[in-house]
Amino acid sequence: MTDAPDQPIPPSDLVPVTIEEEMRSSYLAYAMSVIVSRALPDVRDGLKPVHRRILYAMRESGFTADKPYRKSARAVGDVMGKYHPHGDASIYDAMVRMAQHWSMRVKLIDGQGNFGSVDGDSPAAMRYTEARLAKAASFLLDDIDRDTVDFQPNYDESEHEPKVLPASFPNLLINGATGIAVGMATNIPTHNPGEVIDATLAMIENPDITLEELMKIIPGPDFPTGGLILGRSGIRNAFATGRGSVIIRAKAEVEEIRKDRKAIVVTEIPYQVNKATLQERIAELVRSKQVEGISDIRDESDRSGMRVVIEIKREATPEVVLNQLYRFTQLQTSFGVNMLALNGGQPQLMGLREVLSAFIAFREEVILRRARFDLAKARDRGHILVGLVIAVANIDEVIRLIRAAPDAATARESLMAAQWDAAEVEPLLALIHDEGNVVIDGQVRLTEAQARGILELRLQRLTGLEREKIQNELTEVAAKINELLAIIGSHIRRMEVMREEILIARAEIATPRMTEITDYEGDQTDESLIEPGLMVVTITRDGFIKRTPLEVFRAQNRGGRGRTAAGRRGDDIVVRSFNAHTHQWVLFFSSGGKAYREKVWRLPEASPTAKGRALVNLLPDLGDDSITAVLPLPQDEELWESLHLVFGTASGGVRRNRLSDFRNIRASGLIAMKLDEGDRLIGVATCREGQDVFLATRKARCIRFQITDETLRVFAGRDSSGVRGIKLAEGDEVNSLCVLNHVDATVEERQLYLRAAAAKRRAENAAGEDEAEDATAPEAEDEVATAGATLSPERFAELEAGEEILLTVSDGGFGRRSSAYDYRVSGRAGQGISNMTFSSSKRGSEVVATLPVLPGTDVMLVTNAGRLIRVPVDQVRIMSRQASGVTVLRLDGTEVVTSVFPVLEDDSEGGDAAPDEENGTENA
């Protein structure tokens, strides 16, 4: 067995390295290559290498704005073959973007053909499209052949390409840039070209100009797609630090497209938003019911501009729908500004002043290098002209030397060896600052360049006119040299030249601002878009709900015919109506004892004759239950802490809870009260300790008892069934619940006040007041004989100030008002007292509702036929609690009153109208 061979010795040119070091160095090299050579723009010309190469290659190929269009594939091929070491797809994509007016604030490529669309459509293949440089591109490329910028070898060192273009306007700010490098990214918005150039001129004039002064010139970005920028704080942060967030919102208006139908019309969308994707997102939100109220969406955009029409349903509020679209779609986006660019070959985060300063410094360098290049050319030309002047002045001797020379080289040497009189040319040499010719003892020799120029001189230049032209040209060259020397030697002069050239660019590329900037303090809530106002909310037996502006209904005389309040579906009837403010919360209580919460403005708005919207669609978790009680809550939520809720059921049960127990109600509802089988909620009211609960039944019984911890305690839970409020007779049920203020008064004081108040009213209404048939109804069964007793004026005034009036209406359309003093306070769970006496069948057989009313207000009555009348309560007489009352609404046939509710504010259209001659009532 032989020993194993030794390990091979590595060649001397191999150096062992660790894998960590190799990965680190290789990754850093790759990262810097991406940062510098691909992803980040240069602050000087605002271009990435691929865009710079495209523009330079098209200029070199002659695809300028004054030439015909050429195939895009030709330009892409030139760029790929000479300068860009990547595929044709990346080159063509970059070229297409520079031709899209919705991507660039100032287009640099003039395209012909399909270059894509704002809908995200792909451009046609490069073999089908044509392109040339736009006029604005010339301001980036001018003077590039006058040694204004440095060049570098291309990827195979067969060509040379510019490291930067000699841009004459701040392209980085005007057209912006977007790029993702390794470990860093840039996102620079576009700005208005006229504003950017004006700010540049202002900084040239005053290098110490403040950011606030610059922002008066450039208020913010200006996107090619228009739209609105909300707020200025994000803009200021971006301009100051290079980082900030700008909120962009689409420009949309609400238009009436046909009768009773409105639509949201979008004419401008945020920058870099795909219009087709935006419409798909809106449709998705509608299907998922995340945004409701949209019936149709269509794109009506054409060559004249963008127009996306979003039709709104009749019952929806367009402003609310639009606000929801802002919240859930790209109709409102946030543009994260990150002004990172290459400055001196290094990535640098720059604000507005830094970007403008870097451009001005670069542009000054371009002007200086161009002046030096032009000076060299001018001096070369002046040097040749001096030689021509010498030749013309000594033409005979020049011809002799040339004729005597056997060849051109000898002739050139002869001319250079000869000495010529310097008297005529010495002033010219001083004029053009030419040091090529040396004057010694009044003699001067020709240089090789001058000798070549003389040999190339055409004989026609020897005429007198041509000699004069040489002299004039020499004078012009001298003036140009002096101007160039002034530019080279003076910073102020260079700034003047820069200003003149930037103004020329401004005249070509400046356009009006497209993006509007508005003040903005934060997201608008849907509620803030709703105009405050009173609404009449109507609910039908079959579960349809709607809201109608209160001003639609106007007050009528007592006994009027009313107006149609709701369209009915089959035998559907209105069972509940109330008025509330648009910004109020409304609690809905279901027959199953659950509570739901909704704002009034979110209820569907409809005309008085419309059916409204099904509650099962508004409250999707309602199930088979029906809404049996609705409670508008106080607008001031601070009052909720001191308020309680009192519940009343049809079986006579009551319960008290804190209102704050119902502050947070989820969409699926919250258990409000545990009900026995067959029972249901008939009313819920807010109350405070010490007030009175009033319950009234269909069979004209009622009870009033005080709210105390002993009488009706506060229940800790929401799932209890409560306690008995009134003991009902067989077949009877509670249909009204309200809360009254408790007044400490004896039975005697109450009876004395009722008699005195009745006498006062009779005296006030003696003239022309009709007496009701049953105005002498029996007194209350608990009345005490008070003959000869009287109340003091002070006590009467005190009781009068605290008096509450209850309105009782029968299903026959009769009603009367009664003082709350006529209803004694008793203990809970009793049988109650009589509430109304029906003297005949036409006056009805059941009580529809008993509710408190205020003088000067109105009430509304709704029938099972869908008719509604609004009546001032002052037209309903105040009578004893057992009286059957007066006619409030005249009914037809089997029509009966089904609902009564108060109007808290008088919005009538102008008082009473003359009664109709035929039926004695006013027609609605």
Is it the case that residue 773 has pLDDT exceeding 80?
Answer: no
Over residues 824-841, mean pLDDT: 89
* DSSP E strands, 550-691: 563-564, 574-581, 585-590, 594-599, 613-614, 627-632, 644-649, 653-658, 670-671, 681-687
Q: Which is higher by pLDDT, 808 or 607?
A: 808
Is it the case that residue 212 has pLDDT exceeding 70?
Answer: yes
* Model confidence pLDDT, tens digit, residues 353-400: 999 999 999 999 999 999 999 999 998 888 888 888 888 888 888 888
Return the active site residues. 128
Q: What is the pLDDT of residue 519?
A: 84
SS3 679: coil
Six token digits for residue 838: 């029906």
Q: Which is higher by pLDDT, 872 or 790?
A: 872
Lowest mean pLDDT among 23-27, 38-42, 485-489, 829-833: 23-27
Rounded to an integer, what distance in angstroms lies between the CA atom of residue 684 and that of residue 656?
A: 10
Is it the case that residue 417 has pLDDT exceeding 90?
Answer: no
* Model confidence pLDDT, tens digit, residues 26-75: 877 777 777 777 789 999 999 999 999 999 999 999 999 999 999 999 99
Which residues does 726 contact at the CB level (< 8 Å), separation at least 6? 652, 695, 697, 701, 702, 703, 734, 829, 830, 831, 832
* Model confidence pLDDT, tens digit, residues 253-265: 999 988 778 999 9
Instruction: Quote the mean pLDDT of the chain.
Output: 85
User: What is the 8-class DSSP label of residue 744?
Assistant: -
Rounded to an integer, what distance in angstroms lies between the CA atom of residue 874 and that of residue 429?
A: 114
Rounded to an integer, what distance in angstroms lies between the CA atom of residue 292 and that of residue 321?
A: 7
Closest to 803 in 3D by CA, of 822, 789, 785, 784: 822
Lowest mean pLDDT among 33-42, 85-94, 266-275, 522-531: 522-531
> In this structure, are residues 615 and 596 in contact, taking their beta carbons and an 8 Å threshold?
no
Is it the case that residue 126 has pLDDT exceeding 50?
Answer: yes
Q: What is the pLDDT of residue 465?
A: 65
Q: What is the pLDDT of residue 593?
A: 75
Q: What is the pLDDT of residue 128?
A: 96
Over residues 673-693, mean pLDDT: 85
Q: In a 10 Å sphere around its CB, with 0-12 CB exposed, 13-18 middle and 19+ buried, how is residue 775 labelled?
A: middle
* Model confidence pLDDT, tens digit, residues 558-598: 665 555 554 445 556 566 677 788 888 888 877 777 888 88
Rounded to an integer, what distance in angstroms lies between the CA atom of residue 371 and that of residue 148?
A: 9
Six token digits for residue 884: 């059957």
Over residues 405-429, mean pLDDT: 83
Q: What is the pLDDT of residue 768?
A: 44
Rounded to an integer, what distance in angstroms lies between the CA atom of residue 94 and that of residue 51?
A: 6
Over residues 321-326, mean pLDDT: 91
Question: Binning pLDDT at 50, 70 and 90, where does residue 779 land?
Answer: very low
Rounded to an integer, what distance in angstroms lies between the CA atom of residue 307 and that of residue 269?
A: 10
Which residues on adjacent β-strands are paired with residue 243? 338
Percent of the chain with pLDDT over 70: 89
Q: What is the pLDDT of residue 390?
A: 82
> In this structure, are residues 519 and 585 in contact, taking their beta carbons and an 8 Å threshold?
no
User: Quick count: other Cβ atoms within 10 Å of Cβ 181?
Assistant: 18
Is it the case that residue 911 has pLDDT exceeding 50?
Answer: no
Enumerate domains of the chain plus CATH numbers. 47-166 (3.90.199.10), 251-330 (3.30.1360.40), 368-489 (1.10.268.10), 530-743+802-903 (2.120.10.90)
Rounded to an integer, what distance in angstroms lies between the CA atom of residue 908 and that of residue 924?
A: 13
Six token digits for residue 624: 């088979």
Is it the case that residue 923 has pLDDT exceeding 80?
Answer: no
Which residues does 450 contact at the CB level (< 8 Å), separation at least 6? 383, 384, 386, 387, 388, 390, 415, 436, 437
Task: Tell me the DSSP string of 779-811.
Answer: PPTT----TT----HHHHHHHHHT--EEEEEET
Q: What is the pLDDT of residue 789?
A: 59
Closest to 699 in 3D by CA, of 547, 511, 546, 834: 834
Question: Binning pLDDT at 50, 70 and 90, where does residue 826 land?
Answer: very high
Is it the case that residue 123 has pLDDT exceeding 80?
Answer: yes
Rounded to an integer, what distance in angstroms lies between the CA atom of residue 739 and that of residue 861?
A: 21
Rounded to an integer, what distance in angstroms lies between the CA atom of residue 306 and that of residue 303?
A: 8
